[in-house]
Every structure is written in C-alpha cells, then in structure tokens.
Chains A and B, each alone.
Chain A
C-alpha cells in the first residue's frame, strides 16, 4: 500500500507530465534522434557499407561533391517536380472526390468506402500491379492507348519522357483517397445555412465554393498540403520498385538517390549527405508553411 502511495504522489506532482511523456521521449531518442545524429556525422565521413565502423573524416567533401554533380542537381529537380505534382494532383483529385461524395445520393456510403480502398493497398502490391498494367506488349495501359488509335509499344516506365508521369499516376492513385477523406471531413464543418442562403440569393456553385466552402476548409487543405509534401519527399517503395529511379535518372528522387548511393554504390557518407539535404528541404518547407499559416490566422482575426 505504501509503495502505491509513493508512486501516486510522484505521479500527481509537477513531474507527472514528464513521467507520462517518458515512453515516447525515450523511444524517439533511441530510434529516431540518435540514428539521425549518427547519419549527420556519417555525412562528413567517407564510409563504406562493407566496413561501416571505419569512418574517415572528410569534412564537407561529400556536400561539395553533391552540388558540383549534375546528376544530383537533376535529382533535386525531379524531386521538386514529383513533390509539387503530388501535392497539386492529390489535393485536386481529393477535393473533386470530396465535393462529389459530399452531396447525398443513393449508395453514397458504399461509394465513400470503395474510393478509399487504394489508400489501404500495400505499396509493394501497387508497384507490382502497375508494373503489369504498364507492360509494353501485354499491359492494359498500352492496350487502351492502342484502342484509342495511339500506336504504342513502349513501356512508359522505360521511357525517360514518360516514366515520371507513370510513377505519378500510380502515386496519385494510391494517395488521393487520403486527401479526399480528410477534405470530406472538413466539408462537414461548412455551415449549411450559409450555403443555402447563398444559393437562395442566386449565387452560382463556384461562387458558393469560393465564398462559403473554401474559407472553412482552407486550414485543413493547407495542412494536408504540408503532409503530402513531406510524405512525397520521403516516398521510397513505390518508386524504387517501379523504376529504381531510372531510366537515366528520370525518376531519381532524393530518397532513391540516397538509397542507391548507400546500398548500391556502398557509399554511406554520400548517402547520408543526400539524406541531410532532403531533411533541410523538408524543414525549410515546414517553416515556410508555418509562417504562411500563422499569417493567414492573423488576417482571419
């Protein structure tokens, strides 16, 4: 009993919040923060995958090499295109879907469930099925193109001009359900009376959207954009399994570049430095986002 008493007093003291936080704090320290610091250190060394404990300090050499390397600058460009396309398309498709499924119709509940399924699909299975869909001769994707009169026998994943588009199609298919679910939930917060009175005043659908719907869902959409950005910057499985970053670097995003340097070229130092560059980009975007959204909030008041 007395032992119970002491734990209790300990847990209701001013230390309670910290004691309660401890599990997550320790866990993140051990499995996220310390590994991150280690990667940071590795980025200043020359380290082989084969002898990971032998680190030769090289200062900024890895970074210097990266920014004088055309392929790396190209992969920064690819990452930017991929990420921006993911944000715009996933939110566009998600918004369209959400608006479509917001209004009542027969079978709406079923439709809402079916639309979210791609989000639940394992990325490895998605990569596999899209590889088959894109198959040059036997894939249904080219079959449809041929039925539309486009004579094509090339696999989009193998052509530098189309590979990124092909990857984007698979990615958007997988992630748009998430944004549609989130936006759909935000739409429930749009005041009905306001919408109806605007309609009575003769406002068109677009005007209603701009004046009533958008202001309500904007904070959610902004946050969603941040999440999609960050997740797109680190997406690996789908891209790696579909193209491994190829052909000739057409889909070589930062994370793919990192993985190839570390595990194919066995250069842990270079891989780590790519990771750090990616992390800086993610941090910078988060900061800018934070600034922008707090400015909006101030204006709103």
Chain B
C-alpha cells in the first residue's frame, strides 16, 4: 500500500507479524511456565528459563521420540512416493496432446474436493483386504493419494517452463524419451522438485485423520495423533503438552523457513497461477 505514509505502513507490518507469530510464541512461553503460574489471573508473558526441564520430562514420560520417528517415516515416505509417481505424468501433461488429457486434468482437480474423512471408510476396507491395516505403509499410501494431484500440478508448471529445444537436441543425439525426462528435464526443474517435496513432506508430517483411524497400535502412533490425544484430556500438565506441541511444530517450521523461498516460487510458478 504505497499510498499510506511510512510510519502507518510499518506499524501495520509490525501488527501483522505479531498476529502471525503470537500463537507460536504463546505455545513456547506456556511450555516454559511453572505449573503454579499457569493458572494465575494474569498470564505470564515471558518464558521462565529455569523450566526447560519440562522438555526432558516430556521425552522421559511420554513416547514423544517414537511419535516423531513415525511422523518422520510417514512424511519421508509420502514425499518419495509422491515424486516418484508424479514425475512422468507431469511431463506427459506438459508436453503431449492426447485424448483424455482434459479429463485427466479435471480428475486431478476433483480429488481436491474429497474429504479425507469420507475416504477413510473405503480405504480402511481396502487396506484390510491387503492386510495392511495398522502399518505406516498404509498411511504413506493414503497420504500420497492427496499429495499426488498437487505435486503433478506443480511439476507440470515447472516443465512448461523448460524450453523444448533443449529436449530436441537430446532427441537427435539418440536419447530416449525416458532418458530425456530423467537426465535433462529433471535437473532443470530441481528447485521446483524441492518445493513439491516440501509440500508432500508437510502433508505427511501434519496428517491426522488417516493416522488416527488406519493405525491402532501405540508403537505406530504419529505425533499428530499423540498430540491430539491431549485435547480435552486433563491429567497431563498443560506445559508438558505445550512442550510436545513445540517439539512437533518447531522443527517443521524451522525447516520451512529455510526452504520457504523454493516453496513459494514452486507454488506460484506451477500450481496456482492457473
């Protein structure tokens, strides 16, 4: 808003940042507040640094490490599978004209309308048939059904931006179509590939419905399900719960801050530009 004077603009920016960051900050402060002060009429607005033991406590008393490991496996699996499945279809949608292309594009978009909560029942039956209930593999497979359309779309956008002349030269040199995608297109779209990977990773890391319903054993619980178990539960102290929320959310957010540039350029180059 260039029309506004600078001081007003800057205060608006500061207010905006405060709103965006406050819940994170509050999560952190609450985790470092002694129990006696959690229930004070005036909340404590600063962390109490001597309380950091709550984090060690969380790992000791609650299987947080297992939860995080499971989430990591699911997120990494979802990422690898999504990219592996999406690369060639994205190339196909970008480069070829063929019958049924419009329908394929439309179906990809239509999957965005399906709520996870609706597909849980038939997917439960499906994984039951293959004896895959109560496995992390089932979660990876289910999550990938939701990430693939987004990943295909983003990769297609990036491939659209690769000049075809580069491929033609390789064609003349006798490179196969698969070789072209693998050796020429893939390296050129590496930044977008990174962006798509991050998006798939976050989907797997954050996912809750499938992890809650398709997996029952405690040793396979993901962090989202473990943490959701504290909602409405009163026996675990709130600062312990918040410390686990911090452990779950912060690595993801820090990771996101580092790769944010790629994600934004990838999303805007491909997916959402239309």
**Interface residues in chain A, defined as those with a beta carbon under 8 Å from any beta carbon in chain B:** 4, 7-8, 11-12, 14, 16-18, 20-25, 27-28, 30-36, 38-39, 42, 49, 52-53, 96-97, 99-101, 103, 105, 111, 113-118, 120-133, 137-138, 140, 143, 173, 177, 181-182, 185-186, 204-206, 208, 219-220, 223-224, 227, 230-231, 233-234, 236-237, 241, 255, 258-259, 262-263, 268, 271-272, 275, 278-279, 282-283, 286
The docked-state distance in angstroms from the alpha carbon of A204 to that of B84 is 51
Segment touching A, from B37-45, B48-56, B162-170, B186-194: B37-45
- Chain B residues 95 to 141 lying within 8 A of chain A, measured CB to CB, are 96-98, 101, 104, 107-126, 141
- Determine whether the beta carbon of A126 is less than 8 Å from that of B272: no
Please, which residues of chain A bring their CB within 8 A of the CB of B145?
Answer: 27-28, 31-32
- Determine whether the beta carbon of A138 is less than 8 Å from that of B227: no
Smallest CB separation, A249 vs chain B (Å): 17
- Determine whether the beta carbon of A124 is less than 8 Å from that of B228: yes
Taking the complex as formed, is B216 at the interface, i.e. its CB lies under 8 A from any CB of chain A? no
- Determine whether the beta carbon of B144 is less than 8 Å from that of A27: yes
Set A23, A31, A53, A205: member contacting B141, Cβ < 8 A:
A31
Q: A42-B122, A124-B248, A138-B43 given. 10 additional CB < 8 A pairs?
A: A16-B96, A99-B1, A100-B1, A123-B206, A129-B24, A130-B23, A133-B23, A220-B274, A234-B116, A236-B209
Interface of B is mostly: helix
Taking the complex as formed, is B142 at the interface, i.e. its CB lies under 8 A from any CB of chain A? yes
- Chain B residues 239 to 269 lying within 8 A of chain A, measured CB to CB, are 241-242, 245, 248-249, 252-253, 256-257, 260, 264, 267-268
- Total number of A-B contacts with CB less than 8 angstroms? 279
Smallest CB separation, B246 vs chain A (Å): 8
Q: A31-B141, A259-B117 are in contact. Are A116 and B245 (CB under 8 A)?
A: no
Taking the complex as formed, is B12 at the interface, i.e. its CB lies under 8 A from any CB of chain A? yes
Encode B205-230 as 1/0 by CB contact (under 8 A) with A: 11011000100000000011001101
The docked-state distance in angstroms from the alpha carbon of A185 to that of B242 is 35
- Determine whether the beta carbon of B122 is less than 8 Å from that of A282: no
Please, which residues of chain A bring their CB within 8 A of the CB of B107?
Answer: 28, 33
Closest to B265 in A: A185
- Determine whether the beta carbon of B238 is less than 8 Å from that of A105: no
- Determine whether the beta carbon of A36 is less than 8 Å from that of B119: yes
Q: A220-B274, A255-B117 are in contact. Are A17 and B96 (CB under 8 A)?
A: yes
Please, which residues of chain B bring their CB within 8 A of the CB of A127?
Answer: 228, 231
The docked-state distance in angstroms from the alpha carbon of A202 to that of B58 is 62
Set A21, A23, A120, A133: member contacting B202, Cβ < 8 A:
A120
Taking the complex as formed, is B27 at the interface, i.e. its CB lies under 8 A from any CB of chain A? yes
Smallest CB separation, B122 vs chain A (Å): 3
